[in-house]
Chains A and B, each alone.
Chain A
Amino acid sequence: MNLVRLIDYLREHLKTVIRVCYGFLALLVVLDALPFVVDKHHAHTQIEKIPGFWAVFGLVGCIILIVLSKWYGKLGIMQREDYYDE
């Protein structure tokens, strides 16, 4: 099937795919910093006008969510699968 071959092809060239992704991420930040591309007139707060603010928000938010949730889970929330069985 073509779809599978495409995915396999991308996996074989994983290094290149990752490099392209890095390039894309950098491009997004750069575009965000250019006022004639991204018009920040409609930003709701001052802090959003810092270039790449939402990139930091996304990355830090993601890490905080994972770490906090895992910490919460280890407080005794995560249990064996047969916890409710008798």
Chain B
Amino acid sequence: MTTVDLTTLDLASLKTDLKSLIVVECDKDIEPGSIDDDAILIGGDLDLDSLDALQISMAVKNRYGVSIEGGPEARRALKSVNTLADTILNFQRD
């Protein structure tokens, strides 16, 4: 399992990373850069569903070592690339 070292990752490159992760994991035929930082991920224009949410959560766990628990916490974390990045960075500070 490869876990990215979060101490060497700045916010901008983390977000770029996450967009690529979303495109790959959810098999979206779009440019990662076309995802806005605050675009709604699940149920928004990106047309991602609850299975995509689970797929992203597991990929985030494998890549960054950050567990996103189910329920309201997951819904908050997976709202947008911004909230996902915040969740990952805040997890690191805990």
A and B pair up = no
A interface with B by C-beta (< 8 Å): none
B interface with A by C-beta (< 8 Å): none
